[in-house]
Amino acid sequence: MISPLAYIHPEAKIGENVEIGPFVFIDKNVVIGDNNVIMPNVNILYGSRIGNGNRIFPGAVIGAVPQDLKFVGEETTAEVGDNNTIRENVTINRGTAAKWKTVVGNNNLLMEGVHVAHDTFVGNGCIIGNATKLAGEVEIDDNAIISSTVLMHQFCRIGGYTMIQGGSRSSKDIPPYIIAGREPIAYCGLNLVGLRRRGFSNELIENIHNAYRIIYQSGKNVSEALKQVREEIPMSPEIEYIVSFIENSKRGIIR
């Protein structure tokens, strides 16, 4: 299962039933779990932690040092969970002293050429399209779909169950459950198809829709709109998620 043309540092820890193709480089201080497929010409560098059941395609580089001039060689990690598909030429950099790690969760698809910068956190069940670039300390919540060639400014957060139009760029946070697109990027309505596919009830979808009508169409400032949401929309974990996401936004939300 391990090509004789691969290099694996003697201190690297490799789990069971791992397939490693030719010209793979695996550095020291690397831990790789079970049932992974690592295709030719993959580089898994110092500080990488790979879970179980991942498929890593040719040219991917995991654990390269951050592209951050504040990084001075501190001990950090790049962590990939379970059952991810990491396509060709994806790069996932190590963390810095800001958060000490970069994390990609479970069951994600990172398409060709995606860049995940230092201290970024990608949740579970996300799809990130070709050539999308995530700057440092970006947060992506579960089940977000980001189309191709999207640019995310550092420190931004993307809410769960969002759909972001290809070619978009954002320096603001993008709340959950919505479609975001146009230029400049803006709220384009609810991600109705995505929510229905995920089993959201019609009643819940309507409540989410009504919450965003208040937030985006009432003409009120954000604080007043959120107060009205709390007063008029039946509370549920989903509505609370919207309210807390916006209340805790450090960069402000897209309009």
Catalytic residue set:
118-119, 136
CB 144 within 8 A of CB 160: yes
Which residue carries 């999308």 as its tokens?
132
3-state secondary structure of 2: strand
Beta bridge partners of 121: 103, 139
* DSSP one-letter string for 168-212: -EESSBB-TTEEEETTTTEEEEE-HHHHHHTT--HHHHHHHHHHH
Phi-psi group of 149: left, alpha or beta (phi > 0 → left; psi -120 to 50 → alpha; rest → beta)? left
Q: Which tokens belong to 239?
A: 């509505």
Cα–Cα distance, 174 to 57 (Å, whole number)? 30
Residue 93: phi and psi, rounded to 5, are -85, 155
